[in-house]
Amino acid sequence: MRKVIEEQMQLGAVDISKIQFDEKSRDEIPPLLRGLQFIYCTDAIRTEVFALLQKHIKLSKTGRRGMDLWSILVLGVLRLNCNWDYDKLKEMVDNHMTIREMLGHSPFDKERLYPLQTLKDNVSLLTPELLNEINTIVVNAGHSLVKKKTMNSMPVVIVL
């Protein structure tokens, strides 16, 4: 069974729930990462999403270096939603500060780079079909959240 996420934070790493995003950014990355942060910070959704991932993503028996389920989810969501090839994904995961924070890396952890083949072998396990199942979980949670908030007349938008 794969690890869901690395339990021990690295020295200098930011807790995922405390990652700040540029609210004025018009790029596609911050809304995706905010949606992932919502999944991570909401226990019921996180439990359901990772149960689904554990059911569909098994450990490889070929000796390949694996990734935890959180990393596969983050990188798979970014790759599929941003329409990146694996070379672009590698460039972004190795050099984009906020993506690295979302994966649990500290600013001091510049040596931790992702081999292209590791990305291909692991991120490809998050298929569009599996992502649709995850999206259904998030949308349902969003609907229940909006129902609660509309009673208080506060609009809520969940982006993933």
Return all residues near 130 (Cβ < 8 A) that are at least 6 apart: 52, 53, 56, 57
pLDDT tens track for 33-64: 999 999 999 999 999 999 999 988 876 555 45
The Cα 74–Cα 160 span in angstroms is 11
pLDDT tens track for 101-113: 999 888 777 778 9
What's the pTM?
0.80
Residue 159 identity: V
Sketch the domain layout of the chain as residue ranges.
Answer: 27-151
Percent composition of the chain: helix, strand, coil (DSSP 3-state, to 5): 60, 0, 40
116 and 65 Cβ atoms separated by less than 8 Å: no
